[in-house]
Structure 1
Amino acid sequence: MSQDNKKEIERCFHVLDKIINDNSIPKNIRRAAKNAKTEMQSDEDLTVRATNAITELNEVNEDPNIPVHARTEIWNAISILEGLTVDN
């Protein structure tokens, strides 16, 4: 794995951790962020991991009760993950 990919994964983890640790965000959305982070830590191919994490985040992104700041953070994480799928 390239050094750039490692940096992007760390950036993504930082964004996901912000979501996970924000108690103003509904539990189902925090759980999806945690699942996405766990998915990124698996041993599968990077593209597969990133795609699975994107899918997890997209599911909760459609929730009408999601706070605006949480939606923005999810978009940030998805953007980083999409960059990882393109680079591979």
Structure 2
Amino acid sequence: MNDLPEILEGLFMIHKDNDVPRNIRMKVKDVVDILNNEDEIEIKIDKSLETLGEVADDPSVPQHTKMQIWSLVSLLETNK
């Protein structure tokens, strides 16, 4: 997956953003862990997309963070 460094950087930016609720930052950290594990790439992408979809649908997520998440989802989908 060629976009992995860019995706991880975007996830780390969200994880460090104190304007993002803590529960959302923890889910984003879970996605980082998923992408860094040894599963096959298709499994990692599917799990990540599922979790990020849940995060983006959460009403407590700030609008700018939702935009970042959808951008990362788009990058993940191009690598599927």
- Work out which of the two has the higher radius of gyration on C-alpha atoms and give 1 or 2: 1
What is the correspondence of 1:1-80 to structure 2 with a 5 Å cutoff? 5-6=1-2, 8-80=3-75
Percent sequence identity over matched residues?
A: 26
Aligned residues: 80
What is the TM-score normalised by the length of structure 2?
Answer: 0.94
- Structure 1: state its 5+ residue gaps: none
Structure 1 residue runs of 4 or more that deviate by more than 3 Å after TM superposition: none
1:35 and 1:70 mapped to 2: Cα distance? 16
- State the Cα distance separating 1:35 from its structure 2 match: 0.5
Distance 1:83 1:27 in 2: 28
How far is the alpha carbon of 1:49 from its aligned partner?
0.3
RMSD between superposed Cα atoms in Å: 0.9
Gapped regions of structure 2 (runs ≥ 5): none
